[in-house]
Structure 1
Amino acid sequence: MNKFRNCWLMLCALAVFSCQPQAKVEKKLAGVGIPMQQDIEQKIQKHLSQLTLEEKVGQMTQITVDVITKGENAFVSDEPMELDAQLVLEAIQKYKVGSVLNTANNRARTTQKWNEVIGHLQKVSMEEIGIPMIYGVDAIHGTTYTAGATFFPQQIGQGATWNPELVRKGAEVCAYETRAGGIPWNFSPVLDMGRDARWARMWETFGEDVYLNTQLGLEIIKGYQGDDNDISKQGRVAACLKHFLGYSSASGKDRTPAYIPERELREIYLPTFQAAVDQGAYTVMVNSGLINGIPVHANYKLLTTLLKGEMGFDGLVVTDWADIENIHNRDKVADSHKEAVKMAINAGIDMAMVPYNYDFTTNLIELVKEGEVSMERIDDAVARILRVKYALGLFENPMDKQEDYPKFASKEFENAALETARESITLLKNKDAVLPLKKGTKVLVTGPNAHSMRTLNGGWTYSWQGEKVKEFADGYQTILSAIQQVNGTQNVVYQPSVIYPEEGNYDVDEVVDMKKTIRAAQAAEVIVLCLGENTYTEKPGDLHDVNISKNQQELAAAMAKTGKPVVLVLNEGRPRLISGFESKMDAVVQTYLPGNFGGQALAEVLFGAVNPSGKLPYTYPKYANSLLTYDHKHAENQEKMEGLYDYESFMEIQYPFGHGLSYTTFTYSDLKVNKTNIKADETLEVSVKVKNTGSRAGKEVVQLYISDHYATIAPSVKKLKRFEKIMLEPEEEKTVAFQLTAKDLAFVGMENEWISERGSFSVLIENQKVDFNLTEGKTFGATASLAL
């Protein structure tokens, strides 16, 4: 026995040396985090002492529901959808599977159907293993795969509200309606940075800025999990932070390699996740791509040293779709699927979103028996999974019931979605105050996005790519029908001119009878031109050209030539370039992807019932080779130099980050700081007066930026550090106050640690500026380099 034990210890030591499995890592920056309850931790340890290796590996396995439904194969289910009792037994009884995700045939189901499906899975799981399974879905802007659910604007539109209260309310509604179907785990929020206008998942982010993303990310987590992180309470779900880490910093195309210096990774991409971990988010999903040549799913330094160690994350780390297989199939880092499993689990993965087979379980069991993966690593992973299941209250109540959620799809929830859509809509241009329009104006509504619920909602709506919206959302108003209701059908003519095909590539459109549209435009007083994109997400949304389509450009040019005022309405997930015709547009309104109530919200804005208050959460680019963010370096903005170059700037943009007009006007004055010199442990108090100098009430986002004059790492031109959305009546004035500390002035220095340096700074709010000095520097938490 001693001889066997010594051999086993040698194998474990070899695994630690060669594969770097999970070990106890010092937690340096842990904040509040997940509530750790002693009685639950004792129960978890009891489970670990009783579960077999096969049962433990099963807990780490997640399959998609199509695998266990009746149908011709694991990829296609029969309709109506029904579980296959034998396949369910195979998954749970034989392979001990602990988690299921997704929907069958990529389509929404009723809450009753979800109750039926998940109720059966929980019954079998409790009978066969004694541990509840955990079901997860991507409920991105509402509970994606549930018919009748309330859909809010997508995250980019929520970012445009700059309103944390609305973001939190949207998350509360989403959690409530998701749990009404018995689903306790939501693969949301996306905390990636939307810093590349080409990226197909930009609209799933809150935009390009670190601070804005962090603040709204915290609110969405509070909405899902509650302030107290008690996710066993009715109507709460476990949040899932994604995609850890640096997922959006690639080539502009989804799931492609990224090259990110550690300093940039820590300063730009890490803060949103650190704040969310400190808030107590229970789960994290991993970046599907590669960073500096290493698949993140196989990166021990990112998943274990950084996330579980330095950041103090005690929850569950789950893969994205088939991404352990991708280590072998796509990335060519592992020479077999078994080797890929070894790399991923030893790197720190706790649960594999497999999703279509059981090879993961077979391979992992063999790896443990061979000593390539330690039992310590397996037990750590299973403990994290059980911790989430206990936190959700699944052991006491494995299944929520639809009848316990009477507010599902209620008027209260619809009103919250409508209000968020209203505040998201961003007025980018309003030449000669062409907006708001007067009721009774003869309007031509045209463009491919004018009469489509699909384009208002975007992807992750009733299906993955959002293409099934028509059968589920016919009862809501498109832009056209909403304008007809507000302005009278007799005053509205509709000619689409450019349309999206029912099937095929999302980025294809075609022209239908442009001459007829031109004739209709000549008879109208105002043209509402609705351009943008069809639905997409992830790899199918990859772009070859960031310009808006040629057919839509031609339609815009034709409408401008009529001489009639043109109101350009943009309905898009990312900023498609419009510089070829923007100057000919009289007004430009950005709706993003506003959801089922976006048509109504837009019509209310166009005709003045609602005063727009949205602000851009990203920089709207003007040219394809100038896709920079607002917090760029000074070197991107060089002045004209005679004889060297004769253009004014390397960076020309269409509209700046934070831009958004109103039907009223606001003036700023009397920007003050309480002192011009502060020490590292002191607080700087900032105040500014804001007055509504127009004739109607309106909301304004007061944005505070900091500019560091000189630093050892080239500073950004400016960075957002605070914001507050306020309401002002005509002639009303408010003083808005903020507090800043030395930490708000910090950046990641040469040693990859957060530092603030003494020197001079400016506070910038609108057209106001005041300078101050930090008289001493400070280091905020020592970190060891990850040597990425």
Structure 2
Amino acid sequence: MKYILIPVFIILSCKSKSEQVSNEDFTINHILKDLTLEEKVGQMAQINLTVIAKGPSKWRSSYPLKIDLKRLKKAILDFKVGSIINTINGRALKPTSWRENIKLIQKYAVDSTRSKVPIIYGVDGIHGATYADGATMFPHQINLAASWNNENAYNMAKVCAYETRAIGIPWNFSPVLDLGIDPRFPRQFETFGEDPLLAGRLSRSMIRGFQGDNNDISNKYNVAACLKHFVGYQSVISGKDRTPAYIPDNVLSEYHIEPFREAIKDGAKTVMISSGLINGIPVHANYDLIVRVLRRKLGFEGVILSDWEDINKLHTRDKVAENKKEAVKIAINAGIDMSMIPYEYEQFCKFLIELVKEGEVPIERIDEAVSRILKLKYDLGLFDNPIIDSNNYKDFGSKKHRELAYKAASESITLLKNKNKILPIKNNPSILVTGPNANSMRTLNGAWTYSWQGDLADEFTSNYNTIYEAVSNSFGTSNVKFIPGVAYKNGGNYYEMNEINIKKAVDEGRKSDIIILCIGENSYTEKPGDLNDLNIHKLQLKLALELSKTGKPIVLIINSGRPRLITDFEPFMSAIINVYLPGNHGGDALADILSGKINPSGKLPYTYPAFPNSLLPYYYKPSEVQNNNQGAYNYTGEVNNLYDFGYGLSYSHFEYSDLNINKDIFQSTSDTIQINVNLKNVSNIDGYEIIQLYSSDLFAQITPDIKRLRDFKRVFLKSGETKSINFSLPIDKLAYYNAQNKKIIENGSFSISINDLNRTFLVKQ
């Protein structure tokens, strides 16, 4: 077989005796020296909660949750396991249950083990405290990106941190910093969309929200954040989860690494490695990416965590290890500090101990990993306070938190079409609400909502309004009728549907003044969310086309985690609104936009494609658009987007004018372009506009992107108001990574653009 060669680990030189050693370093070094090899290896092991819970197997637990003391003893006392994750049976638990059981676990770890090192508990809180009954569910990250408002990202992370700590968990596996560059991918909704700058800005806000403005994760309201999934996870060839990607180094640096770089600057404590492969090498086995890039180039000093069972998969799936023991060797030597095992912990611990004793994994590599894990536990305050005081969390699920979630939803919802200004809806018309997403809290929330796949969401969300319920509340129950037409199959795969009563929906549509058609997807994530066809489901297409024959105006609501294709019936829609996955308050926020109580301000954080073979981000290359009408060889090449990145309408109308820059020639990379543009609200409605600044490198050593986002501002203007908007763009922000993966700025012509205005300038160093 072919082996992956990993450079021998080189430990950093220790401080001299004359150097001052901090209390933290002293404590960590003291604990580390006292640990046996078995205890050190146990600290690197992370197991699923079901492994120590009562139930029929390590994969399935009895409900309600009760810890099996025999299993707990085996894991923590016999195998010295240092970390636990997740919930039982993929469902949310009461906060009291969480606190009681984590208290039991921590007391056992501290009181019954020789090392007395507390457990660190981690969880995936993706748009709220996922597995906590009663937790506040915000919109997903894709919505936060659509709001183009850092404040919403900060608020979501801060509330999630508070409510995650409230159940006794100090470590959250968020934010997702993959670029949502492929609309086929089943986790695009977990990202900030396709642009590196937008993702980087919002990621820094989330780090401050999770870890606190002063980065003090010992604070009882803060958690340790986890950047994931490093790196290139969603840029795959097939569009399917955990499949190969082929990404040149300069493309990784230019786009995919950038959001991680920004979040690391803000002190992110942990990183989770991608489950995918890049250029034929599983990222979990890639020393160059983990050590040379993440550690050395980006300067990351925290804990590096595997994803779910991905060390084993180096053998079982990726075939780069002959057996599971070799898989452990490859991953640990490549730089993984902690293994999310999550079940066969006995095997992992046994293999790693043997590998150290055999000299295949240096003890220095183990000490480095364990010292980082101990530091994380120390920074979280777990040595002093391993058990939380439940009296400190009165705002769990509070009105204050729910209002912040509503705000994020209302600012993210994106108006894509408004023919003849049919919206906002006026004069109390009769309304038919129809479609599979019209009366579902599951579809509004998506995955990671009180369960992994979100399939249990309706069980936990009876106090919130679906789209139909919110529209009824807003326009009057006597004016609003609901007929689904088609529905998702109960207990089936997310994509399975049944035709219910399309004819009845069409008949009611003819009698109504307006039809609100709610389509999209059922909830999914990861492998279960893979798809083979980006087109909207054929039954939803049938419903839309049949309703269009009524001649009544149709307001199309798109409720999905990725942009499903609607080109076949888009021309027949009078208005189109993309709500993405807006969370528990999405129905209310949408109803307020439909009624005009809220003026929409969201902008697309991804490119909405028109066809299955037109899946490009907005920063495509000039060769994507080609026209030749000379001679016998005539052709046309087009980019077919239904809606462009950054697009979104408002009930207000804005005019841009007088774009100016401070000079036409810049002679130093330390110089700054000062940019000014006037923005006027020429409508009679107050509103927000997202002003987007782009640059273009007109000629370069490698083919340049058509344009790149360089800055943005969210600005409020009253009716008739004009504002002068200023941007400062350092010349060095125009640099790019060349074919040798070196960041350079070239002399030559550039342009900057805002809306449909642009100015050109020269760089002459």
- In the superposition, the TM-score normalised over structure 1's length comes to 0.94
Helix, strand or coil: the match of 1:380?
helix
Question: Which residue of structure 1 aligns with residue 172 of structure 2?
Answer: 186
Once the two structures are superposed, residues 709-739 of structure 1 have per-residue CA deviations (whole angstroms, 9 ceiling, x without a partner) of 1111111010000001011110111111111
> Does 2:262 correspond to 1:262?
no
Q: Which residue matches 1:338?
A: 325
Q: Does 1:698 align with 2:687?
A: yes
Letter of the structure 1 residue corresponding to residue 68 of structure 2: D
What residue in structure 1 maps to residue 546 of structure 2?
558
SS of 2:58's partner is: coil
Question: Are 1:304 and 2:264 counterparts?
Answer: no
Q: More deviation in 44-53 or 59-68?
A: 44-53
What's the CA shift for 1:501?
Answer: 1.3
Q: Secondary structure at the match of 1:106?
A: coil
* Match status 1:571 vs 2:571: no
Q: Which amino acid aligns with 1:219?
A: S
Give a deviation string over 1:219-276, Cα, whole Å, max 9, x none: 1111001222111112100000000011011121000011111111111111111111
2:729 is the alignment partner of 1:745: no
- Please, which of 95, 116, 120 is the counterpart of residue 134 of structure 1? 120
Q: Tell me: CA distance 1:276–1:25, structure 2 relative to 1, closer, same or farther (3 Å).
A: farther
Deviates more, 1:250-259 or 1:633-642: 633-642
Match of 1:734 in 2: 723
Which position in structure 2 is the counterpart of 1:53?
A: 37
Distance 2:208 2:349 in 1: 34
Classify the secondary structure of the residue corresponding to 1:96.
Answer: coil
Choose from 749, 760, 765 the match for 1:771.
Answer: 760
Deviation, structure 1 residue 774:
1.4
Q: Do structure 1's residue 228 and structure 2's residue 214 form an aligned pair?
A: yes
Q: Distance in 2 between matches of 1:526 and 1:18?
A: 65
Distance in 2 separating the partners of 1:692 and 1:745: 31
* Change beyond 3 A, Cα 1:328–1:398: same
How many Å apart are 1:684 and its aligned residue? 1.1
CA deviation vs aligned residue, 1:166-209 (integer Å, no higher than 9, x gap): 11011100100000001000000000000101000000000000
**Aligned position for 1:216:** 202
The correspondence for 1:526, drawn from 500, 503, 514, is 514
Residue type at the aligned position of 1:694: S
Q: How much has 1:646 moved relative to structure 2?
A: 6.4
Question: Residue in 1 aligned with 2:495?
Answer: 507
Does residue 1:663 correspond to 2:651, yes or no?
yes
Give the secondary-structure state (helix, strand or coil) at the position aligned to 1:499: strand
Provide the rounded CA distance (Å) in 2 between the counterparts of 1:70 and 1:556.
49
Counterpart of 2:142 in structure 1: which amino acid?
Answer: I
Does residue 756 (structure 1) correspond to residue 745 (structure 2)? The answer is: yes
**C-alpha displacement of 1:642:** 5.1
Question: 1:524 and 1:644, CA in 2 relative to 1: closer, same or farther beyond 3 A?
Answer: farther
Question: Are residues 1:712 and 2:723 paired?
Answer: no
Give the AA of the match of 2:393. Y
Equivalent pair of 1:56/1:379 in contact (CA under 8 Å) = yes
Question: How far apart in 1 are the matches of 2:318 and 2:718?
Answer: 58
What residue is the counterpart of 1:161 in the other structure? Answer: 147
RMSD: 1.5
AA in 2 matched with 1:428: L
Structure 2 counterpart SS, 1:669: strand
Give the one of 634, 642, 663 matched to 2:622.
634
| Structure 1 match to 2:138 | 152
Superposed CA deviations along residues 650-670 of structure 1, whole A, max 9, x for unmatched, are 311100000000001001111
1:10 alignment partner in structure 2: none
Letter of the 1:162 counterpart: W
In 2, Cα distance between the equivalents of 1:222 and 1:439? 45
Question: What amino acid is aligned across from residue 135 of structure 1 in structure 2?
Answer: Y
How many residue pairs were aligned? 752
Change (3 A) 1:213 1:321: same
Letter in 2 for 1:306: V
1:8 alignment counterpart: none
1:380 aligns with 2:368: yes
Partner of 2:585: 597
Percent identical = 51
Q: Is the 8 A contact 1:191 1:205 kept in 2?
A: yes
C-alpha separation in 2, matches of 1:403 and 1:501: 42
Tell me the amino acid that sits aligned with residue 77 of structure 2.
Q
Residue matched to 1:13: none
| SS, match of residue 312 in structure 2 | helix
Unaligned runs of 5+ in 1: 1-16, 27-35, 777-788
Q: CA 1:736/1:218 → structure 2, altered by over 3 Å: closer, same or farther?
A: same
State the Cα deviation string for residues 424-460 of structure 1 (Å, max 9, x = none).
1000000110111015111000000000000000000
The 1-side partners of 2:704 and 2:625 are apart by 13
Query: Counterparts of 2:480 and 2:630 in 1: how far apart (Å)?
Result: 54
Instruction: Provide the rounded CA distance (Å) in 2 between the counterparts of 1:514 and 1:85.
Output: 55
Equivalent position amino acid for 2:271 in 1:
V
Q: Secondary structure at the match of 2:329?
A: helix
Q: Contact between 1:181 and 1:401, CA under 8 Å: does it hold in 2?
A: no
Identify unmatched segments of 5+ residues in structure 2.
14-19
Q: 1:197 aligns with which of 178, 183, 186?
A: 183
Conserved 8 A contact 1:288-1:320: yes
2:266 corresponds in structure 1 to 279
Q: Retained in 2: the 8 A contact 1:439–1:486?
A: no
TM-aligned CA deviation for residue 770 of structure 1: 1.1
Q: Supply the distance in 1 between the matched residues of 2:308 and 2:81 (Cα, whole angstroms).
A: 16
Aligned 8 A contact 2:627 2:634 in 1: no
Q: Aligned letter for 1:330? A: R
Match of 1:33 in 2: none
Q: Aligned-pair distance for 1:515?
A: 1.2
- The equivalent position to 2:433 in structure 1, one of 442, 445, 449, is 445
Q: Kindly indicate whether residue 456 of structure 2 is the aligned counterpart of residue 468 of structure 1.
A: yes
- Contact persistence 1:21–1:347 (CA under 8 A): no
Q: Shift of the alpha carbon at 1:641? A: 3.1
Amino acid at match of 1:81: L
Q: Secondary structure at the match of 1:104?
A: coil
Query: 2: distance between equivalents of 1:644 and 1:69?
Result: 73
